[in-house]
Amino acid sequence: MAQWLDNAVFYEIYPQSFMDSNSDGIGDFNGITGKLDYIQELGCNSIWMNPCFASPFGDAGYDVADYYRTAPRYGTNDDLKRLFDEVHKRGMHILLDLVPGHTSVEHPWFLESMKAETNAYTDRYVWTDHVWESPEGMGFLRGISGRNGSCAVNFYSCQPALNYGYYKPERPWQQPMDAPGPKATVEALKDIMRFWLGLGCDGFRVDMAGSLVKQDEDGKGTIRLWQGIRAFLDEEFPDAAMVSEWGEPDKSLQGGFHMDFLLHFGPSHYNDLFRCGEPYFSKRGKGDISEFVETYKENYGKSAGKGLICIPSGNHDMERLAKYLQGDELKIAFAFLLSMPGAPFIYYGDEIGMRYVENLPSVEGGYERTGSRSPMQWDNTPNAGFSRADTGRLYIPLDEKPDRPTVQAQMADPDSLYHEVKKLIALRQSHPALQSKGRIDFLHAESRSYPFAYLRSAGEETILVLLNPSGAPASFESGLPLSEKLYSFGGDITAQDGRITVPAASFGFYKV
Ligand code: NOJ
């Protein structure tokens, strides 16, 4: 595994909304390049950038029309190469977003595949052998061309599913994984990866990584497919880093991914922490962290030594953290995010508590996700410093509230969320025990109970992490004395006869 992942702290950039350098109302590569110092000063040393390839943008770029060319609205391939170079000059790394499961309906492969006559792309997508055949449980496109068949879609109907085969084909049109069509799709995918890794990107975040092989049995086919890609990477790009949108680390890490995300859907209980009626990190103190911890422990056990489980502050698909948490609650949530194993991912703007913008009209297939994709708020100049375009031309409207947080205001305020996040990253970076591979042992994570306590350790060092987001002091039997304090926030944490009391809305890090 690439060594830089040991202390990687990622920053997710939604390129549309980060920084507009040419005043057309939408973010671009040169805008990002101009803000790398900001990301580095915050303490993040790695970037994941959402899809930036040519696309009709039916799903914000997750519908690729040309895998080898950047979308002109973000700049040229050369501008992207310059971004890679500037990232590397700062000792940082950058992952592109790879969308292997589907293309846009406008991709030339699909235009060929739709044709009635057999050609090199006939089997590039999952097609049935008759227009009236479209099995239940999958979306299909039909009646769209002269080809007598329906084509499976993966997400929206503008995203036809690429053909990686069926684990156990049952119908005549379902091809096995080793049929020529699926094999050619895998080779095409490797070529795309080769191209961007060759140009200087450091790896990929992989979209819907667990869904490539159809009618899969427990992910077995898709795992095998990724193992083949891992072997190719080991040979040609051994330092490339891969993170999957899969949400089942026991499977994805077996497939050769270095990291897997906890997702806001699926079995992880991630939403119990921040995004539910009573989030654990709310000061109401009515949340429950126990099921999250039980599931985490199970996954951690299965993935130990194989790779990392990554916890994001948010992403472009879920509501912003600040919709549910405010003030100190956000600081305590970040104390958790930045002290867990695996590489943390900070979604742009979460470090200043950017809000979820309610009731925005859907932009490019965003629907309710649009509210989490609004422009970065840099300062108090027009358009919050994001763009010099007329406000009406912005890709997505800004948070219009007069008290919207900005980077400038938070940098000037030593008590801001920005400064807390920065301090927490610095703390993590000065203690290997708090970094990606440091071990975790949970001490107190009881049902409907506070505080939340765990030990992180690496080599000779063990650090006790104590978090109490609730509005009342909370204590537990730890059997541990409180020795050297590394860092704390809120009131004074005390220990008496092995019982530790953590004041309301506070957290602390202690050497054990
Ligand atoms: C997951 C991506 O994060 C999301 O934004 C996209 O719409 C779907 N996959 C489809 O590619």
Question: In tens digits, what is the pLDDT along the chain, a chain of 512 residues?
Answer: 899 999 999 999 999 999 999 999 999 999 999 999 999 999 999 999 999 999 999 999 999 999 999 999 999 999 999 999 999 999 999 999 999 999 999 999 999 999 999 999 999 999 999 999 987 888 999 999 999 999 999 999 999 999 999 999 999 999 999 999 999 999 999 999 999 999 999 999 999 999 999 999 999 999 999 999 999 999 999 999 999 999 999 999 999 999 999 998 888 999 999 999 999 999 999 999 999 999 999 999 998 889 999 999 999 999 999 999 999 999 999 999 999 999 999 999 999 999 999 999 999 999 999 999 999 999 999 999 999 999 999 999 999 999 999 999 999 999 999 999 999 999 999 999 999 999 999 999 999 999 999 999 999 999 999 999 999 999 999 988 898 999 999 999 999 999 999 999 999 999 99
Residue 407: in which H helix or E strand, if any?
helix 407-412
From the alpha carbon of 59, which atom of ligand 1 is closest? Answer: 7
Tokens of 212: 């490539």
Tell me the CA–centroid distance for residue 61 and ligand 1, in Å: 9
Tell me the CA–centroid distance for residue 62 and ligand 1, in Å: 6
User: By C-alpha distance, which of 403, 411, 404 is closest to 377?
Assistant: 404
> What pTM does this model have?
0.98
Instruction: Compute CA distances 135 → 125, 149, 177, 464, whole Å.
Output: 16, 12, 19, 53
pLDDT the model gives residue 360: 98
493: left (phi over 0), alpha (psi -120 to 50) or beta: beta
pLDDT the model gives residue 476: 97
Residue 423: in which H helix or E strand, if any?
helix 417-429
Residue 233: in which H helix or E strand, if any?
helix 220-236
Tell me the CA–centroid distance for residue 213 and ligand 1, in Å: 17
Cβ atoms of 481 and 502 within 8 Å: the answer is no
Cβ atoms of 105 and 160 within 8 Å: the answer is yes
Q: Where are the alpha helices (DSSP H) in 74-219?
A: 77-89, 108-113, 180-199
Residue nearest to atom 4 of ligand 1 (CA): 317
pLDDT the model gives residue 137: 84
Spell out a b/e string for 128-143, using b for 16 or more CB atoms within 10 Å of the CB, else e.
beebebbeeeebbbbe
From the alpha carbon of 369, which atom of ligand 1 is closest? Answer: 5
pLDDT the model gives residue 134: 81
From the alpha carbon of 62, which atom of ligand 1 is closest? Answer: 11
Hunting for tokens 């992880």 — which residue is that?
268
Side chain identity, residue 191: D
Tell me the CA–centroid distance for residue 246 and ligand 1, in Å: 12
Tokens of 333: 């949530």
Ligand 1 site residues (CB inside 6 A) read 59, 62, 99, 155, 207-208, 245, 316-317
Tell me the CA–centroid distance for residue 155 and ligand 1, in Å: 8
Tell me the CA–centroid distance for residue 391 and ligand 1, in Å: 27
Residue nearest to atom 5 of ligand 1 (CA): 317
SS3 244: strand
Cβ atoms of 359 and 323 within 8 Å: the answer is no
Residue 272: in which H helix or E strand, if any?
helix 271-274
pLDDT the model gives residue 1: 85
d(Cα 486, Cα 41) in Å, to the nearest integer?
Answer: 21
Which value, to the nearest 10 degrees, does the dihedral of the CA atoms of residues 452, 502, 345, 22 take? 150
User: Residue 18 phi/psi, 5° resolution?
Assistant: -95, -55
Tell me the CA–centroid distance for residue 503 and ligand 1, in Å: 40
Tell me the CA–centroid distance for residue 50 and ligand 1, in Å: 10
Tell me the CA–centroid distance for residue 207 and ligand 1, in Å: 6
Side chain identity, residue 397: P
CA 372 to chain centre: 13
Mutational pocket test of ligand 1: of 207, 244, 264, 373, the residue with most ligand atoms within 8 Å of the beta carbon: 207
Instruction: Compute CA distances 446 → 164, 268, 329, 333, 504, whole Å.
Output: 43, 17, 19, 18, 17
Residue nearest to atom 2 of ligand 1 (CA): 207
- Checking DSSP bridges between strand 203-206 and strand 150-153, what pairing results, if any? unpaired
From the alpha carbon of 63, which atom of ligand 1 is closest? Answer: 11
From the alpha carbon of 155, which atom of ligand 1 is closest? Answer: 10
Question: 180-199 vs 77-89: helix axis angle to the nearest 10?
Answer: 60
Q: How far apart are the first and last CA of the chain?
A: 29
Residue nearest to atom 1 of ligand 1 (CA): 207
From the alpha carbon of 102, which atom of ligand 1 is closest? Answer: 11
